[in-house]
Amino acid sequence: TTRTPEFLGLEQKGSMFPQSTGESDVIIGILDTGVWPESKSFDDTGMGPVPAAWNGACETGTNFSAASCNRKLIGARFFAKGYEATLGPIDESKENRSPRDDDGHGTHTSTTTGGSVVSGANLLGYATGSARGMAPRARVAVYKVCWLGGCFSSDILAAMERAITDNVNVLSLSLGGGTADYYRDSVAIGAFSATEKGILVSCSAGNAGPTSYSLSNVSPWITTVGAGTLDRDFPAYVSLGNGKNYSGVSLYRGPTLPDTLLPIVYAGNASNSTSGALCMPGTLIPEKVKGKLVLCDRGVNARVQKGSVVKTAGGAGMVLTNTAANGEELVADAHLLPATTVGQKAGDEIRKYVISDSAPTAAILFEGTKLGIQPSPVVASFSSRGPNSITPEILKPDIIAPGVNILAGWSGAVGPTGLPDDPRRVEFNIISGTSMSCPHVSGLAALLKAAHQDWSPAAIRSALMTTSYTAYKNGNIIEDLATGKPSTPFDHGAGHVDPVSAVDPGLVYDLTADDYFDFLCALNYTAAQMQVVTKRNTSCDAAKTYSIGDLNYPSFAVVVPSDSTGKSGGSTVVKHTRTLTNVGPASSTYKVSTFSDNKSVQMSVVPDTLTFGEVNEKKSYTVTFTVGPMAVGSNVFGRIEWSDGKHVVRSPVAVSW
Amino acid sequence: ADQKKTYIVHMARHHIPPTFGEDHEYWFGSSLKSVSESAEMIYTYQNVIHGFSTRLTDQEAESLEKLPGIVSVLPELKYELH
């Protein structure tokens, strides 16, 4: 990626990461659409021998041989038996029956997480810079599980099985499957086994935001990653014949529009279809759009397909407007014709003008790449939101990372729009999604693993979470693009990842597979459900009291019981216990601070001071949440911070009625 | 009901009958064949779960679920890229 290394502080002088020597021993496994091995991001110049622990392979198949791998891309496998059992043999005229990426998504995610440094990277001149993965010296192993017809859980499980035996250290999955309970969700089940074996599993949170309860991959042993913006934009303004201008974004490059204003028509008035405004294939009347700009509404079909539809109908260009579903979120696309995307407010104004004016005209002005956009980051509208629908007592997402307009490697089999009628081929593409933010965190986790080889997956996640930030330098809370208001822990989790701080978190909340086992007991899982997830033959201890709230998680989600028995003077009292492990200087003293954004939630912490005398020493504390009455559905947010004056170990708090 | 779907079959590693020794794959296959002569295993899993995936009718899946050592027979899910 370009820009994100700077945005995340990885290029800072004095950052620990450039000196990290163990990075080349860390192996990141990516389950996705495969890989384009010829990408310059897989150049292995200067890389040493493949780690001795590596058991993986570079599988041969259509247009892919063992020679496709090298010391950077050390493994590539494909899993299609489940897919073929359901949909029949892969049509090799349409996709390669091999690890080769016919889609681009897998090459994008794998280069984002572990790509080598490539100077002069860009997409059609946009986002130019030196591109690199988050862990540029780590090794990459790709497991192709997604095909034209989707990603099937039997293949995903088989890939996770092999990734475990291949000896990956980090697993990155930019995919999801709704909200099945853990014992029905193959990714959750596979991730449990991987985590038990010391592999950190990072997954995308999903793109179903800004709706509440829209998260995927919410099990507590998975690191769940939402998406935020960068300080980079690709402005393309709409100038109307009435003299008004509106900002939009675009990655269009090609023949430009004439300097004069062109007639503009609303697609809904240039179609015989009731959904003509959406610019679906075959719905525009060529006589009504020929030589004109066409205003299309976002939704239903792909944004870039709308541009293709306008082009096919003879339109000169397109203005694509967000609707209420997307608000002001501007996702840039490499359209096939001059086109720009505007937010809902601008779109409503433009639509009003186009419909009401007798001879409406407009122009699109492309401004290229702009850096330093503020505020940034902002939580992407599409980023899925909490609460956690499976276990509301576990706050998700865990963290956000860059996931909007991300440049990374691309497949040579497909153009930047992914459309069949896009003949262009590019080495890098710019796309958006929590699919893009997840591999950022996977790569950063690999850096932490290299710097702290003895840390567990939970310790690495804790370091990433407790050192993340929730406010800009001016003190304002990170905005939510969906609302324009401050985001909450249900939007950003613990906050935006800050890898430079994460390398030295001071304290971590550690967890083992046994803790997750106890967590499942607290969920009252049946013996069979326990066995499905954990494969253990042991059962929950009938004499033991299990509590979800006591899982040693780096965040707090308190669900106020409607029939609370712990009432005291009209208030409900909930206690959570946590244990911190000292990973900083041997001798240190931490003091606690608590913050609540509403007086209805009071927090007291006992003890309020933790004194450590040696590295890896553990100390426990209990938080008592005293919660006043609020309407059902209300949420109050806060945080608990431990600080020794140098480190700040911050946990978000969400209380829900 | 006659249409086959993919199922992921979770088995109890520690409940392997002594007659199979330590040959878990043989146990998987034997269990499968007892409910469906035609069904074939798509994958076997030893690390990530203990079990296998296969194509079964609803009736066959129900029969399999009742066999000793079977923990769960879950229909396959489709995932999508984010």
Known active-site residue A259: no
What is each CA distance from A257 to A220, A290, A582, in whole angstroms?
52, 14, 61
Tokens 């099985």, located at residue: A161
pLDDT-derived band at A165, boundaries 50, 70, 90? very high
* Residues of chain B contacting A32 with CB distance shorter than 8 Å: 81
Q: How many CB atoms lie within 10 A of CB A54?
A: 17
Rounded mean pLDDT, A563-588: 84
Residue-wise pLDDT tens digits, B24-41: 999 999 999 999 999 999
- Cα-Cα-Cα-Cα torsion B19, B23, B25, B26, nearest 10 degrees, comes to -40
The arithmetic mean of pLDDT across residues A129-156, rounded, is: 97
Q: Does A194 touch chain B (CB under 8 A)?
A: yes
Strands A118-123, A146-147: parallel, antiparallel or unpaired by DSSP? unpaired
Kindly provide the residue ranges of all beta strands, DSSP E only, lying in A145-249, ordered along the sequence: 146-147, 150-152, 170-173, 175-176, 200-204, 223-228, 232-233, 236-240, 245-246, 248-249
Neighbour tally for A367: CB within 10 Å: 13
Which of A276, A653, A625 lies closest to A489, judged by CA? A653
> How remote is the C-alpha of A370 from its chain's centroid?
23
Q: Which residue type does A229 have?
A: T
**Mean pLDDT over the full length of chain A:** 95
What is the phi/psi pair of residue A406, to 5°? -95, 125
Structure tokens of A460? Answer: 């690495």
Q: CA distances (Å), A489 to each of A235, A297, A603, in order?
A: 30, 31, 17
Listed by number, the residues of chain B in 9-68 with a beta carbon closer than 8 Å to a beta carbon of chain A are 10, 12-14, 42-43, 45-50, 53, 55
Question: Which residue in the set A32, A186, A204 is minimally distant from B8, CB to CB?
Answer: A186
Give the list of residues 6+ apart from residue A614 with CB closer than 8 angstroms, or none: A582, A586, A587
Of B5, B49, B82, the CB nearest to A206: B82
Residue A116 and residue A136 in contact, taking contact as beta carbons nearer than 8 Å: yes
pLDDT-derived band at A16 (thresholds 50, 70, 90) equals low
What letters, b where the CB count within 10 A reaches 16 and e where it falls short, cover A334-360? Answer: bbbbbbbbbbbebbebbbebbeeeeeb
Pairing of strands A139-144, A73-78: parallel
Q: Which helix (H) or strand (E) holds A501?
A: helix A499-502
Residue from A237, A225, A207, A198 nearest A339 by CA = A237
| Integer Cα distance of B81 and A439 in angstroms | 13
Give me A627's structure tokens: 């919660």
pLDDT score for A36:
98
Q: How confident is the model at residue A324 (pLDDT cuts 50, 70, 90)?
A: confident
Asked whether the bond before A377 is cis by omega within 30 degrees of 0, the reply is yes
Using a CB–CB cutoff of 8 Å, tell me whether A176 touches chain B: yes
Cα A111 from chain centroid (whole Å): 15
Q: Which two tokens stand for residue A544?
A: 């033991």
* Band of pLDDT at residue A565, cut at 50, 70 and 90: very low
pLDDT grade, residue A136 (50/70/90)?
very high
Q: Do A152 and B82 touch (CB under 8 A)?
A: no
pLDDT of residue A345: 96
CA atoms of A545 and A206, how far apart (whole Å): 34
Instruction: Spell out a b/e string for A159-192, using b for 16 or more CB atoms within 10 Å of the CB, else e.
Output: bbbbbbebbbbbbbbbbbbebbebbbbbbbbbbb
Q: From CA A227, how far away is CA A433, in angstroms rounded? A: 7
The whole-number average pLDDT for the span A523-528 is 95
pLDDT-derived band of residue A521, with 50, 70 and 90 as boundaries?
A: very high
The amino acid that residue A561 corresponds to is: P
Residue A15: the pLDDT is 59
Residue with the larger pLDDT of the pair A15 and A635: A635
Q: CB within 8 A of A190, min separation 6: which ones? A: A156, A157, A160, A161, B48, B49
Would you say the C-alpha torsion A562, A566, A570, A571 has a positive or negative sign? negative
Query: At residue A19, does pLDDT exceed 60?
Result: no
Please give the DSSP secondary-structure letter assigned to residue A486.
B
Omega cis (within 30) before A416: no
Residue A495 confidence (pLDDT) above 90: yes
- Residue A66 DSSP label: G
Residues of B in contact with A85 (CB under 8 A): 6, 42, 55
Handedness of CA A563, A568, A570, A576 (dihedral sign): negative
Distance from CA of B24 to the nearest CA of A (A): 14
Sign of CA dihedral A45, A46, A52, A53: negative
**pLDDT band of A11, cuts 50, 70, 90:** confident
Q: Establish whether A105 is a catalytic residue.
A: yes
Tokens matching residue B65: 């679920």
In the predicted structure, residue A131 carries a pLDDT above the cut 90: yes
* Range of weakest confidence among A32-41, A240-249, A626-635: A626-635
For the stretch A365-415, pLDDT in tens is 999 999 999 999 999 999 999 999 999 999 999 999 999 999 999 999 999
- Taking only the tens of pLDDT, chain B with its 82 residues reads 679 999 999 999 989 999 998 899 999 999 999 999 999 999 999 999 999 999 999 999 999 999 999 999 999 999 999 9
Q: How confident is the model at residue A568 (pLDDT cuts 50, 70, 90)?
A: low
- Let me know how long chain A is: 657
CB contact A181 to B (< 8 Å): no
Burial group, residue A323, by CB count within 10 angstroms (0-12, 13-18, 19+): middle
Comparing alpha-carbon positions, the chain A residue that sits nearest to B65 is A528
Q: Which of A41, A101, A102, A105 is catalytic?
A: A105
Backbone angles phi and psi of A437, in degrees to 5: -75, -35
**A361 to chain B nearest CA, in Å?**
37
A61-102 pLDDT, tens digit each = 999 999 999 999 999 999 999 999 999 999 999 999 999 999
Q: How many CB pairs under 8 A join A and B?
A: 122
Quote the pLDDT of residue A538.
Answer: 87
CB A109 within 8 A of CB A35: no
Give the chain A residue whose CA is nearest to the CA of B74.
Answer: A184
pLDDT tens digit string along A166-217? 999 999 999 998 788 999 999 999 999 999 999 999 999 999 999 999 999 9
Which range (A2-16, A258-272, A428-442, A618-632) has the least confidence?
A2-16
State yes or no: is A550 an active-site residue: no
pLDDT at site A564: 61
Cβ pair A531:B10 closer than 8 A: yes
Question: Quick one: which H or E segment has residue B59?
Answer: helix B58-65
Cβ atoms of A458 and A363 within 8 Å: the answer is: no
Q: Does the beta-carbon distance from A82 to B71 stay under 8 Å?
A: no
Query: Angle A434-451/A457-466 helices, nearest 10 degrees?
Result: 110
